[in-house]
Amino acid sequence: MPDHGDLSRVDTSFPHPARVYDAWLGGKDNFAADRAAAEAGVAAFPGIIESARANRAFLRRAVRYLAAEAGMRGFVDIGTGLPSAPNTHEVAQSVAPHSSIVYVDNDPIVLAHARALLTSGGPGKTGYIDADLRDPGKILREAAELLNLSEPVAVMLIGIMHLISDEDQPYEIVGTLLDAVPPGSYLAMSHLASDLYPEEMAEFARVWNKQARKTEQGTLRGHAEVARFFDGLDVVPPGVVQISKWHPRTGPEADAIAALRGAVARKP
Ligand SMILES: C[S@@+](CC[C@H](N)C(=O)[O-])C[C@H]1O[C@@H](n2cnc3c(N)ncnc32)[C@H](O)[C@@H]1O
pLDDT value of residue 119: 84
Reply yes or no on whether the pLDDT at 151 is more than 90: yes
Atom number of ligand 1 nearest to Cα 133: 20
Packing angle between helix 32-44 and helix 17-24, nearest 10 degrees? 60
Between residues 255 and 83, the one the model is more confident about: 255
In this structure, are strands 100-105 and 234-235 parallel, antiparallel, or unpaired? unpaired
Note whether 107 and 216 are within 8 A (CB): no
What SS3 class is residue 251? helix
Q: What percent of the chain has pLDDT over 70?
A: 98
The pTM of this model reads 0.96
The tens digit of pLDDT for each residue in 177-189 reads 999 999 999 999 9
What SS3 class is residue 32? helix
Reply yes or no on whether the pLDDT at 2 is more than 70: no
Which of 108, 112, 178 has its CA nearest to residue 139? 178
Cis-peptide into 170, omega within 30 deg: no
| Burial profile 29-49: b = 16 or more Cβ within 10 angstroms, e = fewer | bbbebbeebbebbeebbebbb
pLDDT value of residue 5: 55
Please provide residue 203's backbone torsions phi and psi, each rounded to the nearest 5 degrees. -65, -40
Cβ–ligand 1 distance for 163 under 6 Å, the answer yes
Reply yes or no on whether the pLDDT at 7 is more than 90: no
Atom number of ligand 1 nearest to Cα 134: 19
Residue-wise DSSP of 41-109: HHHH-TTHHHHHHHHHHHHHHHHHHHHHTS---EEEEES--S--SS-HHHHHHHH-TT-EEEEEES-HH
Alpha carbon distance 182, 141 (integer Å):
15
User: How far away, in angstroms, is 52 Cα from ligand 1 center?
Assistant: 13
Reply yes or no on whether the pLDDT at 89 is more than 60: yes
Cβ–ligand 1 distance for 80 under 6 Å, the answer yes
Cβ–ligand 1 distance for 189 under 6 Å, the answer no
- Burial class (CB within 10 angstroms; exposed 0-12, middle 13-18, buried 19+) of 115: middle
The tens digit of pLDDT for each residue in 215-263 reads 999 999 999 999 999 999 999 999 999 999 999 999 999 999 999 999 9
Reply yes or no on whether the pLDDT at 208 is more than 50: yes
